[in-house]
Amino acid sequence: MTNESAQQAGGRSSTDVLKQREFVQIFDTTLRDGLQVEGVSATVEDKLRVAEQLDHLGVSYIEGGWPGANPKDIEFFARAATELTLATATLVAFGSTRRPKGKVDDDPTLHNLIEAGTSAVCIVAKSWDYHVLNALNTTLDEGEAMIADSVEFLVGHGRRVLVDAEHFFDGYKHNQEFAIRALEAAVVKGASHLVLCDTNGGSLPHEVGSIVAEVKAHFRNDVTIAIHCHDDTGCAVANAMAAVASGARQIQGCMNGLGERTGNTNLTTVIPNLELKMGYRCLPPGNLVRLTAVSHHIAEVLNRPMNPQAPYVGTGAFAHKAGLHVSAIVRAKDAYEHIDPVAVGNGTRFIVSEMAGRATINMKAEELGLDMDGAAVGHVIDELKRLEHEGYHFEAADASLELLMRRSAGWTHDYFTVESMRVITDELPSGAFNCEATVKVWVGDERYIDVAEGNGPVNAIDTAMRSVLIRHFPQLTKVHLTDYKVRILDGTSATGATTRVLLEATNGDRSWTTIGVSPNIIEASWQALAESLVFGLLHTPGEPHSSARQ
Amino acid sequence: MTNESAQQAGGRSSTDVLKQREFVQIFDTTLRDGLQVEGVSATVEDKLRVAEQLDHLGVSYIEGGWPGANPKDIEFFARAATELTLATATLVAFGSTRRPKGKVDDDPTLHNLIEAGTSAVCIVAKSWDYHVLNALNTTLDEGEAMIADSVEFLVGHGRRVLVDAEHFFDGYKHNQEFAIRALEAAVVKGASHLVLCDTNGGSLPHEVGSIVAEVKAHFRNDVTIAIHCHDDTGCAVANAMAAVASGARQIQGCMNGLGERTGNTNLTTVIPNLELKMGYRCLPPGNLVRLTAVSHHIAEVLNRPMNPQAPYVGTGAFAHKAGLHVSAIVRAKDAYEHIDPVAVGNGTRFIVSEMAGRATINMKAEELGLDMDGAAVGHVIDELKRLEHEGYHFEAADASLELLMRRSAGWTHDYFTVESMRVITDELPSGAFNCEATVKVWVGDERYIDVAEGNGPVNAIDTAMRSVLIRHFPQLTKVHLTDYKVRILDGTSATGATTRVLLEATNGDRSWTTIGVSPNIIEASWQALAESLVFGLLHTPGEPHSSARQ
């Protein structure tokens, strides 16, 4: 079976829909609604970097924040105006309609929206009668007037105005007449988009599909319908696609499914669904391959670990574990993967674990360019079983796996040998802590003793080791640790339990992870650190200066 | 607005579907397909505990493993037969059809299935012609015979047989005639269920809905149609619901969305969708309230952190952050939450962070039973802003937040004062590491000096502190640490970066989390440990024995 025939097999109706290639705008709200997720906070600098990434991906709109509600957001729009050059995206400031019984001219929210200086603005408007009557404590007529006045004011200031109809689906189910009246008020005054929000996130695809179709039939082509979902039923992506099938032409959502509670519509999922499976266009041609890199980059900027299970962009999205399938997958990837992972900038990965068969280890050896005979492969499998039983987990530690495989193939490193080490941690009279490590190390025939301070025991050992090794291996200046993760393996007896340490390092060109396991956290850390240094020396170009001290 | 009226508002078509209350079987494959997820491995003991939880929830089927493919799984079925008493669930052994050109009587897989001793078995069968021809390397006629023979054999041994049609949707799109022929072979020989699998996970709801409807029309009531999806398009839940709407009456999936690549259909999402929103019944009446507890319990047994964003069961599923909404939510929860969280055993939560307003802090004070005046609330808000700027994160550390609020209200603890501490870590001649902590502590007017070993610096300090404190506060014997998490806050300069430590502890009745932040990991750990001890002393019953040493 060729790639082409499998693609056809996998997408029965793809030929009909591909003919359309209609455009669906992507409106990213990672920097506004996305930051409502628990546990994420972003500096203005972070937000500027995320905006650059979103533009690099090629979304149509970037909602940057709510100027006024958050002091950082005023600064964001000021800096964005001078520092960002966006190729594709339009920056949007978010706000709300004017206050009940207030006037547009002296409304602080509307004032801040204008001050933000964006060509487009998005304002939240109440379309569920209950919220107008009980949250705003005003009449339905005043609720309608708040929308009409605010849109008129903003359009009068030359802004493109998107109206975000909060709680729209619940409101429509409860009082359809008022929900439509709220939308009409916006359209009459020149809103460009009606954003139908499932604010509480409780809707299902069949409801969203039928209500959007009714709204679309009502407004025809007077306005663009946008859909804004939350994932409280696990259906945000399906809801957004149902809306598009019913005539919506803008999807609002967040990268990596960020957002309050269960998250907004995950753009990293819905974009490839629309482009690869539904026959729509969302990004500039050729940009879809940037999806995985942009997704990971944003996760890093926001200091939020990627979900390995994330569709399309997760490290596990095209990972194959079951040993017996590996050889079949290699023969015909398109019969085992729903899309070519390269289309979204991801790749096929074979996971090595205690369940690995010989085929998996052979694949991995080929990937690493190692020449391994049958005995060496058998040794790797035995070692994996033994070590994973002790608590090691090589799926997460690519560099330690590679070193294990190299050792099984007969390789040993001769970069250094540690004779002993000691770390003293003291509380100083100031109340601060001090850590000091002493290491005794052999490099070739030379014995070194060195001491270093650090901000913790592991850092102190790392610093002391480097001060020795760097004399022989100057390329180590390029290598540094980027993350340090500790897990207690037996949660029920934490203080006496086994500790697993994962260390991430980089040399600027590539990153790697090593693992250490021990009841003693320092020993586990040192195992991971030693492997990290060895891996760094093995893979960082630079002639070993073994005679540097001679 | 009453709860009732909001429920009606939120579910337009609920009254029509509620009349039906048809039953949809839940087939849980957490213990088979779920364990294919990267990074999870389970002991036989773990699997038995998960099975108990699934039965407690009330699923119809529990797929326990593939006896023979994995040696642990033979042991699991043997122990399950004697050790498990299941109230609701039927245990299922998984396997495959006989080998190509083989005979059923001497087929090891079928033999192992019978040996497993379960009343029901599920066998994987190939329904995509490509896989028969190229993966099995046999003819379509033989592919069909493999299914027919195997079902006949297993039914002949008195088993209920579910046939798992692998790659069914891709196969159906590619060669509909053979896909149906494969299913017919199973039905003719007495299979109870046809499990339609979207093995590569690439299908969308409209495709699944229409194909399941065609299959249902073909087989009518001769057999039960089951749906087995993977989340590669972020639509597994929506796909399963589309299948149910088209006549499927069994959903296969995993708790917490475990499973290979992007995970199987998330049962913790689809069950409440079906019961609360679609008018189906999946569990014994009254059992849905167990969902959150079972979900968290299974996550813990499999040592896999819960996704806080998980619909219905996540800690963030009903968490409200935006300060200005808190008071409105309190007045009318049903206007801000898509279901009553109590229905699934979860609860509303108000998140306190630097964005918190006075209303949020007041809510939290009430929750904690603290009497705080306006000045104290203002102080908490200022402290939160200052500390979160330094890297603290109180959303994740409930106990540290409570202590901060108590201090702002004027409270101070007088349990102990630390004069100084020192930890020495040494590599022993054996290569193992030794940690030894010395602490000098005041309790009241008494000064103590004590020393203790530990499996790491923090454990050594913890042990030394306890050996002092326990003389005065014997209730500390109930308190122990359960997890220790370390994060480097500035990932780009790991060795010199700020470290955030989260410590979890329990006294058997309740658990709590404290936080420490410092450039020095030992100092951060000590902050978190000190707060953990104080919180434990504050909330663990036991008369302080302040004169224990007198």
Question: Mean pLDDT over residues B50-64, rounded?
Answer: 97
Would you call B477 helix, strand, or coil by DSSP? helix
Confidence band, pLDDT 50/70/90 cuts, at residue A10 = very low
Reply yes or no on whether the pLDDT at A542 is more than 60: yes
Q: Which residue has the higher pLDDT, B425 or A311?
A: A311
Task: Name the token pair of A402.
Answer: 């590679």
Check: CB of residue B47 under 8 Å from CB of residue B40. no
* Residues 258-277 in B contacting A (C-alpha not used; CB under 8 Å): 260-263, 266, 269-270, 273, 277
For residue B499, what are the β-bridge partners? B488, B518
Question: Mean pLDDT over residues B326-334, rounded?
Answer: 75
Q: Per-residue DSSP letters for A114-142?
A: HHHT-SEEEEEEE-SHHHHHHTS-S-HHH
Q: Which residue has the higher pLDDT, A350 or A92?
A: A92
Calpha distance B528→A366 (Å, rounded):
46
Q: What is the tens place of the pLDDT at every residue in B225-275?
A: 999 999 999 999 999 999 999 999 999 999 999 999 999 999 999 999 999
Reply yes or no on whether the pLDDT at A522 is more than 90: no
Note the maximum CA span of chain A: 89
Confidence band, pLDDT 50/70/90 cuts, at residue A12 = very low
Reply yes or no on whether the pLDDT at B293 is more than 50: yes
**What per-residue confidence (pLDDT) applies to B334?**
82
Confidence band, pLDDT 50/70/90 cuts, at residue B491 = very low
* Residues 398-437 in B contacting A (C-alpha not used; CB under 8 Å): 418, 420-427, 432-435
**Chain B residues closer than 8 Å to A311 by CB:** 231-234, 262
**What per-residue confidence (pLDDT) applies to B324?**
52
**What per-residue confidence (pLDDT) applies to B490?**
56
Percentage, residues of chain B above pLDDT 70? 90
Give the distance from residue A89's alpha carbon to the nearest chain B alpha carbon, in angstroms. 25
Confidence band, pLDDT 50/70/90 cuts, at residue B349 = confident
Calpha distance B484→B486 (Å, rounded):
7
Q: Which residue has the higher pLDDT, B9 or B481?
A: B481
Q: Per-residue DSSP letters for A401-418?
A: HHHHHHHHTT----S-EE
Q: Per-residue DSSP letters for A261-288?
A: TT-B-BHHHHHHIIIIIS--B-SSTT-G
Give the helix/strand (H/E) hosting B25: strand B25-28
Q: Does the distance separating the beta carbons of A235 and B520 come in below 8 Å?
A: no
Q: What is the tens place of the pLDDT at every residue in A394-410?
A: 766 889 999 999 999 88
Q: Does the distance separating the beta carbons of B485 and A487 come in below 8 Å?
A: yes
Check: CB of residue A528 under 8 Å from CB of residue A502. yes
Give pTM, 2 decimals: 0.77
- Within 8 A by CB and 6+ apart from A44, the residues are A72, A75, A76, A79
Reply yes or no on whether the pLDDT at B548 is more than 60: no
Reply yes or no on whether the pLDDT at B216 is more than 60: yes
Q: What is the tens place of the pLDDT at every residue in A244-274?
A: 999 999 999 999 999 999 999 999 999 999 9
Reply yes or no on whether the pLDDT at B410 is more than 50: yes
Check: CB of residue A505 under 8 Å from CB of residue A462. no
**Chain B residues closer than 8 Å to A269 by CB:** 233-234
Task: Name the token pair of B463.
Answer: 């042990």
**What per-residue confidence (pLDDT) applies to A34?**
95
Q: Does the distance separating the beta carbons of A432 and B300 come in below 8 Å?
A: no
- Within 8 A by CB and 6+ apart from B251, the residues are B24, B25, B26, B27, B226, B227, B240, B243, B244, B265, B267, B270, B274, B282
Task: Decide if A19-282 and A413-549 have a common fold.
Answer: no
In terms of Cα–Cα distance, which of A189, A206, A258, A199 is closest to A227?
Answer: A199
In this structure, of A40-44, A257-261, A295-299, the range with the lowest mean pLDDT score is A40-44
Q: Does the distance separating the beta carbons of A300 and B273 come in below 8 Å?
A: no
Mean pLDDT, chain B, rounded, equals: 88
| Cα–Cα distance list, A331 to A316, A335, A349, B462 (Å) | 20, 9, 15, 56
Percentage, residues of chain A above pLDDT 70? 90
Of A337, A351, A435, the CB nearest to B522: A435
Q: Does the distance separating the beta carbons of A521 and B456 come in below 8 Å?
A: yes
Dihedral over Cα of A38, A43, A46, A50: its sign: positive
For residue B266, what are the β-bridge partners? B254
Helix B457-469 / helix A521-539 crossing angle, nearest 10 deg: 170
In terms of Cα–Cα distance, which of B171, B170, B169, B114 is closest to B143?
Answer: B171
Taking the C-alpha atoms of B448, B453, B455 and B457 in order, what is their torsion angle to the nearest 10 degrees? 50
Q: What is the tens place of the pLDDT at every residue in A489-515?
A: 654 444 456 788 888 888 877 778 899
Question: Mean pLDDT over residues B139-147, rounded?
Answer: 98
| Cα–Cα distance list, B307 to B65, B255, B511 (Å) | 25, 12, 18
Confidence band, pLDDT 50/70/90 cuts, at residue B432 = confident
In this structure, of A185-194, A313-322, B488-497, the range with the lowest mean pLDDT score is B488-497
Check: CB of residue A5 under 8 Å from CB of residue B128. no
**Chain B residues closer than 8 Å to A484 by CB:** 486, 488, 494
Calpha distance B230→B261 (Å, rounded):
8
**A225 Rama class: left (phi>0) / alpha (psi -120 to 50) / beta:** beta
Reply yes or no on whether the pLDDT at B7 is more than 50: no
Reply yes or no on whether the pLDDT at A537 is more than 70: yes
Reply yes or no on whether the pLDDT at B538 is more than 80: yes
Backbone torsions φ then ψ of B240, nearest 5 degrees: -60, -40
Reply yes or no on whether the pLDDT at A315 is more than 70: yes
For residue A264, what are the β-bridge partners? A230
For testing contact with chain A, the best of B203, B495, B501, B527 (most A CBs within 10 A): B495
* Residues 71-100 in B contacting A (C-alpha not used; CB under 8 Å): none
Check: CB of residue B525 under 8 Å from CB of residue B515. no
Would you call A447 helix, strand, or coil by DSSP? strand
Alpha helices in B453-509 (DSSP H): 457-469
**What per-residue confidence (pLDDT) applies to A39?**
72
Cα atoms found within 13 Å of the Cα of residue B77, Cβ hemisphere only: 27
Q: Does the distance separating the beta carbons of B435 and A427 come in below 8 Å?
A: no
Reply yes or no on whether the pLDDT at A391 is more than 80: no
Task: Name the token pair of B313.
Answer: 């069961």
Give the distance from residue A373's alpha carbon to the nearest chain B alpha carbon, in angstroms. 25
Q: Does the distance separating the beta carbons of B423 and A422 come in below 8 Å?
A: no
**What per-residue confidence (pLDDT) applies to A329?**
76
Give the distance from residue B32's alpha carbon to the nearest chain A alpha carbon, in angstroms. 12
**What per-residue confidence (pLDDT) applies to B360?**
76
Percentage, residues of chain B above pLDDT 90? 61
A10 to chain B, any CB pair closer than 8 A? The answer is yes
In this structure, of B110-119, B373-382, B403-412, B484-493, the range with the lowest mean pLDDT score is B484-493
CATH H-level superfamily of A413-549: Alpha-isopropylmalate synthase LeuA, regulatory domain (3.30.160.270)
CATH H-level superfamily of A19-282: Aldolase class I (3.20.20.70)
Confidence band, pLDDT 50/70/90 cuts, at residue B416 = very high
Q: Which residue has the higher pLDDT, B327 or A370?
A: A370
Calpha distance B160→B527 (Å, rounded):
58
For testing contact with chain A, the best of B16, B129, B197, B423 (most A CBs within 10 A): B423
Would you call A481 helix, strand, or coil by DSSP? strand
Cα atoms found within 13 Å of the Cα of residue B422, Cβ hemisphere only: 9
Task: Name the token pair of B466.
Answer: 């306890």
Q: Does the distance separating the beta carbons of B321 and A38 come in below 8 Å?
A: yes
Amino acid at B184: E
Cβ-Cβ contacts under 8 Å between A and B: the total is 348
**What per-residue confidence (pLDDT) applies to A44?**
87
Task: Name the token pair of B281.
Answer: 């019944």
DSSP structure class, residue A400: H
Q: What is the tens place of the pLDDT at every residue in A419-459?
A: 889 999 888 777 788 899 999 999 999 999 999 998 888 88
Question: Mean pLDDT over residues B327-348, rounded?
Answer: 86
Reply yes or no on whether the pLDDT at B10 is more than 50: no
Q: What is the tens place of the pLDDT at every residue in A167-179?
A: 999 999 999 999 9
Most confident option among A35-39, B15-19, B220-224, B331-335: B220-224
* Residues 215-254 in B contacting A (C-alpha not used; CB under 8 Å): 231-235, 237-238, 241-242, 245
Check: CB of residue A409 under 8 Å from CB of residue A372. yes
Dihedral over Cα of A353, A357, A362, A367: its sign: negative
In this structure, of A99-113, A525-539, B3-17, B250-264, the range with the lowest mean pLDDT score is B3-17
Domain ranges of chain A: 19-282, 413-549
Question: Mean pLDDT over residues A178-202, rounded?
Answer: 98
Question: Mean pLDDT over residues A83-88, rounded?
Answer: 95
**What per-residue confidence (pLDDT) applies to B44?**
87
- Within 8 A by CB and 6+ apart from A275, the residues are A281, A282, A283, A288
Give per-residue burial for B244-278: e unless 16+ CB within 10 Å, then b: bbbbbbbbbbbbbbbbbbbbbbbbbbbbbbbbbbb
A338 to chain B, any CB pair closer than 8 A? The answer is yes
Reply yes or no on whether the pLDDT at B483 is more than 90: no
**Chain B residues closer than 8 Å to A339 by CB:** 202
ipTM entry:
0.76
Reply yes or no on whether the pLDDT at B83 is more than 80: yes
Reply yes or no on whether the pLDDT at B338 is more than 80: yes
**What per-residue confidence (pLDDT) applies to B107?**
96
**What per-residue confidence (pLDDT) applies to B95?**
96
Calpha distance B211→B234 (Å, rounded):
19
Confidence band, pLDDT 50/70/90 cuts, at residue B289 = very high
Reply yes or no on whether the pLDDT at B12 is more than 50: no
**What per-residue confidence (pLDDT) applies to B43?**
82
Task: Name the token pair of A197.
Answer: 């929000």
Confidence band, pLDDT 50/70/90 cuts, at residue A13 = very low
Confidence band, pLDDT 50/70/90 cuts, at residue B5 = very low
Q: Per-residue DSSP letters for A328-345?
A: HHHH-GGGT-SS-GGGGT
Question: Mean pLDDT over residues A516-545, rounded?
Answer: 86
In this structure, of A259-268, A354-363, B274-283, B302-311, the range with the lowest mean pLDDT score is A354-363
Question: Mean pLDDT over residues B15-35, rounded?
Answer: 82
Dihedral over Cα of B129, B135, B138, B143: its sign: negative
Q: Does the distance separating the beta carbons of B205 and A205 come in below 8 Å?
A: yes
In terms of Cα–Cα distance, which of B372, B484, B464 is closest to B423?
Answer: B464
Mean pLDDT, chain A, rounded, equals: 88
- Within 8 A by CB and 6+ apart from B376, the residues are B405, B408, B409, B410
Dihedral over Cα of B99, B104, B106, B112: its sign: positive
